[in-house]
Chains A and B, each alone.
Chain A
Amino acid sequence: EVQLVESGGGLVQPGESLRLSCAASGITLSSSWMYWVRQAPGKGLVWVSRINGDESIIKYADSVKGRFTISRDNAKNTLYLQMDSLRAEDTAVYYCARDEFNGGWFAFDFWGQGTLVTVSS
């Protein structure tokens, strides 16, 4: 059974940092494109960052560029999102998801259950 389990969310003040983790089982992250996607309260799903299997391609949404860093630990089969200089507008549920190529098509076939990040003074 495939599982993606996020952790590390919480309540922080503006300007502080958090590191989110996404622990995988049943799949090998080092051979997968992975995304972090967030959903702010009352809003829709928005991509935040992506990383390919060998970490040669890493991209960020403009809203988090320069503040967030995506990485992975292949030995632990875990994806991370280091979030620095947090702002109130970063408040959201953060999901990790796998972008899988299957039969000629790409789709996010597995998602974590999400971890809530609240940035407030």
Chain B
Amino acid sequence: DIQMTQSPSSLSASVGDRVTITCRASQSIDSFLNWYQHKPGKAPNLLIYGASRLQSGVPSRFSGSGSGTDYTLTISSLQPEDFATYYCQQSYSAPRTFGQGTKVEI
């Protein structure tokens, strides 16, 4: 299975901050990289697929980039509703594996 490593595991930020989360795969995944937002008690929500493609309905302050083994999720201006845990996931091969998550908190 492909191993996914996220950093940092948690971060503190304020409303309006620019936030960057990184994800590294154990092998090249050719941009088959997704990002999810997960809030307690809710279903995870797809934000970005194919490394940089914004899922329908997701605010444009979210963006993704990267290639090969290294990927980044950026929130350009953090909003109160963005405090959550973010997971990367590779969809290059099965089984789909996740990073360990990054908790974004105040």
Contacts and interface: CB of A to CB of B under 8 A. Distances in A.
The majority secondary structure among interface residues of chain A is: strand
A95 interface: yes
Interface size for chain B: under 10, 10 to 19, 20 to 34, or 35 or more residues?
20 to 34
A61 B97 CA distance: 11
A50 B97 CA distance: 12
Interface stretch (A12-20, A64-72, A84-92, A105-113): A105-113
Contacts, number: 70
Nearest to A4: B43
A106 B55 CA distance: 12
Which of B32, B49, B100, B101 has the most chain A CB within a 10 Å cutoff?
B49
Contacts of A102: 49
Interface string A78-121: 00000000000000000101010011111111011110000000
Given A44-B99, A47-B97, A105 B91 contact: yes
A59 B101 CA distance: 24
Given A44-B101, A95-B43, A113-B43, A106 B95 contact: no
A109 B94 contact: no
B100 A107 contact: no
Interface of A: 4, 35, 44-47, 50, 59, 61, 95, 97, 99, 102-109, 111-114
